Structure 1
Amino acid sequence: MEHSIESYIKNLVRETIGQTISDVQTHNGRSNYVIANWKMNKTLAETADFFEKVTCDDTVSVVICPPAPLLYLANNMIKQQVKPIALGGQNVHWAEKGAFTGETSTEMLKDVGCEYVIIGHSERRQYFHEDDEIINQKVRQSIKAGLIPIICIGESLEQKNFLQTEQILTEQLIGALKNTGSSNFIIAYEPIWAIGTGQSATPERAQETHAYIRSVLKQLLGQTADSISIIYGGSVNEKNAEEFSSMPDIDGVLVGNASLNAETFEEIINVFAKGEQNE
């Protein structure tokens, strides 16, 4: 039965995707996000230096996601300097608490000031074998605890070459959002073939994919999908950020390597702040 539902949604999406892409609108009041994923980088001293240097205003929603041991310091730095920056975790466990050595709970993330958490990043899917069921459990626990999930989806190079992008994204969306009963989340489209490779999707191709993702969300959530921010990740830097910011269904970026340098990251923030002012 579940498989037939998935097939039904895919067919509905294929029927509407042409119209969705050809009739794209403005950002429709959605928040623009610039989110930093530091991955396994930085020391305490480097974290303090970053927050002392980086500047931003409140025209763009800026979220920094450091490794777990750096979250407490990052939260203190944000409070001391009164900067409009939110904090996010890079991962979370699906259980509230318990015998899960080395894991981090939603309560712990909230206790150190986190408002967001990245879930389903391709590195977690690939290296830690997280499937759609595990990701769904994490999404549901995060929403229950009051955290905003940044749900990552994306296809591999092999899947892209076999023209399976739409199928993979649809399955990942359905899997992540199953039984959540919420629209308080962010979708991050991160093509696996573009992460850390220096290759990124063209802005036009990324826009088409984001429009497709929004059409899937409309089938799942109705018009609420228009209010959900969909951001792009995959070798985003200060040189290509402006092209992505001009696309109507790209509501920000998830930045990896380019977020480690305060000056470079600030340039990306300014690109999206400028876009907000022009709308």
Structure 2
Amino acid sequence: MEQSIERYIKNLVRDVIGQTLGELQLQSDRQTYVIANWKMNKTLNETAEFFQNISSSQDVSVVICPPAQLLYPAHLFIKQSGKPIGLGGQNVHWTDKGAFTGETSARMLMDVGCEYVIIGHSERRQYSFEDDELVNKKVKQALKSGLTPIICIGETLGQKNAMQTEQVLSKQLFGALTDIDSSQFILAYEPVWAIGTGQSATAELAQETHAYIRSVLKQILGQKAENVSILYGGSANENNAAEYHAMPDIDGVLVGGASLDAKVFDAIINVFAKGEQNS
């Protein structure tokens, strides 16, 4: 009897250690991203100047998301530079093609060199009335086409003050990922109250929220949730990047205004490069 109990305890300890090591391995495999969302900014000349002055790092996946009319020039500038920089769109339509004036299909994005696309940004949700159902359609279209979706979620100031952050994020996550079993996407937590306001979330608050987001992802995807990189957005800049980088559940940043200056964006990239943690 004693031997049976001892064997049971040994097996239990072995299983727990194995599971912990497995989770640590999955966490270490998560990619770190520094992604620029230029929104409606830059001319052709300004884009050329940016790529002349930007650097990159083998330890961080750098992605630039310019306006649609600058995508192909940006692709050429990246190719000319020889730097390992990814290209992403700021929006995608949920169908292959059709009579949708002003829209851009996944095929068009890939045709000009895109590998990524931002979906569900709060500004799109606000100005184009994108709801969770539409976000879900776009995510499915991106995945089907071979693009990596950068799915944005976040609460407004009113929702934050009403203590509804977790409720809002859960709804957005379950809505965006309905009938999706893949973990080949990136999440960006962008508190709406922090975007463009300079009132960024503290690193501790962002970490707490990211940990909650991952717990919800586990409900949806199971253990595959550990593979998903979760980025922070919302007035991320060169001054607060190191604080976010120090947090275990923050796998990079989605940068708005601070990404328009190559020197400033370079500083953020350097923070997230391996060996620069807590610098």
Matched residue, 1:229: 229
Unaligned residue ranges in structure 2 (runs of 5+): 1-22
- Letter of the structure 2 residue corresponding to residue 234 of structure 1: G
Superposed CA offset, 1:30-88 (max 9, x none): 11000000000000000000001101121100000000000000000111110010000
Aligned 1:173-252 pairs, distance under 5 A: 173-252=173-252
Stretch deviating more after TM superposition (180-189 or 245-254): 180-189
Instruction: Quote the Cα distance in structure 1 between the aligned partners of 2:148 and 2:123.
Output: 20
| 1:113 has 2:133 as partner | no
Instruction: Quote the Cα distance in structure 2 between the aligned partners of 1:240 and 1:126.
Output: 27
Instruction: Quote the Cα distance in structure 1 between the aligned partners of 2:25 and 2:243.
Output: 17
Instruction: Quote the Cα distance in structure 1 between the aligned partners of 2:255 and 2:51.
Output: 16
Aligned Cα RMSD in Å? 1.7
- Letter of the structure 2 residue corresponding to residue 196 of structure 1: G
Larger-gyration structure (1/2):
2
Tell me the CA shift for residue 181 of structure 1: 2.5
Unaligned residue ranges in structure 1 (runs of 5+): 1-22
- TM-score, scaled to structure 1: 0.89
Aligned 1:101-180 pairs, distance under 5 A: 101-180=101-180
- In the alignment of these two chains, the number of paired residues is 256
Distance 1:226 1:26, change over 3 A: closer
Query: Greater relative contact order (Cα 8 A, min sep 6): structure 1 or 2?
Result: 1
SS of the residue aligned with 1:114?
coil
Matched residue, 2:18: none
Aligned 1:36-55 pairs, distance under 5 A: 36-55=36-55
Tell me the CA shift for residue 179 of structure 1: 1.3
Instruction: Quote the Cα distance in structure 1 between the aligned partners of 2:229 and 2:200.
Output: 20
Instruction: Quote the Cα distance in structure 1 between the aligned partners of 2:102 and 2:227.
Output: 36
Matched residue, 2:31: 31
Instruction: Quote the Cα distance in structure 1 between the aligned partners of 2:195 and 2:180.
Output: 28
- TM-score, scaled to structure 2: 0.89
Distance 1:51 1:249, change over 3 A: same
- Letter of the structure 1 residue corresponding to residue 85 of structure 2: I
Distance 1:275 1:169, change over 3 A: farther
| 1:77 has 2:59 as partner | no
Provide the identity percentage: 70
